[in-house]
Amino acid sequence: MAPASHPAKPAAAPGIRLLPLFLRNFVRNRETGLVLVAIVVGLLSGVLVAAISSLSQVSHALLFDIPFDAHLSATGVISWQRTLLVPMLGGLVLALIGLYFARRVKGQQLADAIEANALYGGRVSFRGSLLISIQTLLSNGFGGSVGLEAGYTQICSMFGSHVGQRLAARRNDMRLLVACGAAGAISAAFSAPLAGAFYAFEVVLGAYTSAGLVPVIASAVTAWLVARQLTHQSFLMVPGFPSPVSVEMIGQTVLIGTICAFVSILVMLAVAFSERCFQRITVFKGFLRPILGGLLLGGLALLTPTVLGAGHGAMQILLVSNPTWLLLTTTIVFKILASAISLGSGFRGGLFFASLFLGALIGQLYSIVLTGPLPTLALQPGTAAIAALAALGTGVLGAPFSMVCLALEITGDFSVTVGAVVASSVCALIVRELFGYSFATWRFHLRGEVIRGPQDIGWVRQMSAASLMRTDFENALTTMPIGEAQKLFSPAQVRQIVLRDPSGIYAGIVPAATLHSVANQDDEQLGSLAQQQDECLLPTTPVREILKAFERSEADVLAVVDRTDHRATIGTLSESHVLRTYGEELERRNQELFSR
């Protein structure tokens, strides 16, 4: 009697222990199961965001000798010694961490949520994410002009991915759980569940789908509820009263969106320029870069402490204190310099809150400057600030609807968000037309990665000539007489013959139709009919490059050779087969995206 067969255990990542089978099946087969997992991810996200935020506050209090409930950027009583030396000490700590982990954690292990969803099917490294989150916390804790949002999204997305891996989730469900983690992180950080949800759709998933709506919303709302209980959160106080909606108001928000578009491009280019400058410092293998960055940051902080940390306190104070145009201008310039220096020198973090801070100041500056010559026409400072906040955030992050929701949720005032809608839309259009990148995709571009968003292209990279080729092909020597080849290869059975020279090197392809159209040349060598002698593929050639090769050569079939220095034929690949397989896989991925 044959032994009973057992279902094959699904493959798991090394070191990942799968959860019980009934749980895995419940999540894979029932949408309710996925929603419950999303709630768990949201719960973890709320706790993690509250913990990291509290640790940052404690770090600021201990290192800069300020009250525990005070914001670093809004404190003007820090001694000059701490202002100058603490960022340098932070740079030293980051340099030591980077030196220790340089070879231990690299490549895919350092992928963020966007890269993981685009290339790796939602698989986020536990060790790499923990390292990135610690580096972000240290960078912010030592006064680096970076926000904690990058650390929030990294650690929360990692837990979403980790839970998905333990459940042996499908590729699309894994990507969705990563988005749930990011949604929970932003929702908890800003007390903005709508902004968190749409941040996940726009930045981490790259598409809004009805199948993903409930899990993402569930995670965002859960994280918001948890963070509300663990941290003190309040609305952003907006000065003045909202400007009434009018043609003039819409026209001015269009102008604000245009200004913010160019500033957002400037900020991203400034960070890239700073990175190039610091990369030239090769002493001790770049060990001195973050230390020098900390020194420069401390020097700027001596001029204005608003450059320290993310800038939460400074933004609120500047919004309600009626500052002068000169103070706003210098703060904007110094904050751009501080963020570029911090990120370029090796401090870990992002531009999420910096873009909101800069946008609010630019809007306020616009209102103050225009109030002088046109006091009755100028927008109210609060309206202009929120419009610019949403616009600059859109330009840097590439998430217009998320920024509009954030403007609504952090102010609690629907009327001021009308300008935010217009300014964000204009800014998004201009940045896409003139620059084409968000901050995240711009940094991918600088690394040489062809990633324009979080859309899943990892499966495209997995399709290569080796996985698509046929290995059963007819071949012959170039020295074979044409007459003998006509007798050997029937046109009813063979479509093409791959040629090889006497040393076994690929020498071209002869279509069967071409072979049998030749008359009175029986003694000529088969090599005289060869085509595509110089056009062939390698086993690692990705599908997009394969399609370009077919278009360039105008061939129906190409040979696949083992390597460039040997060129022994190992298979053939037809254009029709590539297009059919690519289309079928694309259709399957789209079905997975829009339905479970």
pLDDT score of 453: 63
pLDDT score of 138: 95
Average pLDDT score over residue span 141-161: 93
pLDDT score of 12: 55
3-state SS class at 390: helix
Residue 561's H or E segment, with its range, is strand 557-561
Distances in Å between the alpha carbon of 420 and those of 171, 319, 406? 36, 17, 10
Average pLDDT score over residue span 257-283: 93
Question: So what's the architecture of 463-591 in CATH?
Answer: Roll (3.10)
Judged against a pLDDT cut of 60, whether residue 3 lies above it is answered with: no
Average pLDDT score over residue span 123-144: 91
Q: Given pLDDT bands bounded at 50, 70 and 90, which one contains residue 290? A: very high
Judged against a pLDDT cut of 80, whether residue 150 lies above it is answered with: yes
Q: Which of 27-31, 57-61, 358-362 has the lowest mean pLDDT?
A: 27-31
Over residues 71-121, the pLDDT tens digits come to 888 887 889 999 999 999 999 999 999 888 877 777 666 788 888 887 788
Judged against a pLDDT cut of 60, whether residue 5 lies above it is answered with: no
Give the closest residue to 497 by CA, choosing from 481, 483, 478, 522: 478
Give the closest residue to 74 by CA, choosing from 381, 352, 315, 301: 315
φ, ψ of residue 570 to 5 degrees: the values are -120, -5
CATH number belonging to domain 21-230: 1.10.3080.10
Give the integer Cα–Cα distance in Å for 225 and 218: 11
Give the CATH number of domain 247-288+299-456; options: 1.10.3080.10, 1.10.10.10, 3.10.290.20, 3.40.50.10160: 1.10.3080.10
Tell me if 233 sits within 8 A of 227, measured CB to CB.
yes
Highest mean pLDDT among 91-105, 323-337, 375-389, 532-546: 323-337
Tell me if 168 sits within 8 A of 21, measured CB to CB.
no
Distances in Å between the alpha carbon of 442 and those of 124, 453, 517, 579? 20, 10, 54, 30
Over residues 366-417, the pLDDT tens digits come to 999 998 888 878 888 888 999 999 999 999 998 999 999 998 888 877 777 8
Over residues 61-70, the pLDDT tens digits come to 999 989 888 8
Are 21-230 and 463-591 equal in CATH topology? no
Separation of CA 245 from chain center: 35
pLDDT score of 68: 85
- How is the chain split into domains, by residue range? 21-230, 247-288+299-456, 463-591
3-state SS class at 572: strand
State the distance between the two ends of the chain, measured CA to CA, in whole angstroms: 39
Supply the mean pLDDT for the chain: 87
Q: Given pLDDT bands bounded at 50, 70 and 90, which one contains residue 430? A: very high
